Amino acid sequence: MASEENDASSGRLLLAESDVVGQVIVSEEDLQSRIIELGAAITADYQGRPPLLVGVLKGAFMFMSDLSRAIDLPAEVDFMAVTSYGSATRTSGVVRIVKDLDLDLLDRDVLVVEDIVDSGLTLSYLQRYLLARQPASLEVCALLVKEGQQRTALDLRYVGFTIPPDFVIGYGLDVAERYRNLPAIHAYTGPES
Instruction: For residue 99, say if its preceding peptide bond is cis, omega within 30 degrees of 0.
Output: no
- The values of phi and psi at residue 129, to 5°, are -60, -45
Phi-psi region of 58 (alpha: psi -120 to 50; beta: other; left: phi over 0): alpha
User: Is-catalytic flag, 118?
Assistant: yes
What is d(CA 177, CA 186) in angstroms, rounded to the nearest whole number?
15
What is d(CA 162, CA 103) in angstroms, rounded to the nearest whole number?
31
Helix pair 28-45, 61-70: axis angle to 10 deg: 50
What is d(CA 121, CA 71) in angstroms, rounded to the nearest whole number?
28
Longest C-alpha distance within the chain, in Å?
55
Q: Of 19, 109, 115, 118, which is the active-site residue?
A: 118
Beta bridge partners of residue 69, listed in sequence order: none
Question: Active-site positions?
Answer: 118
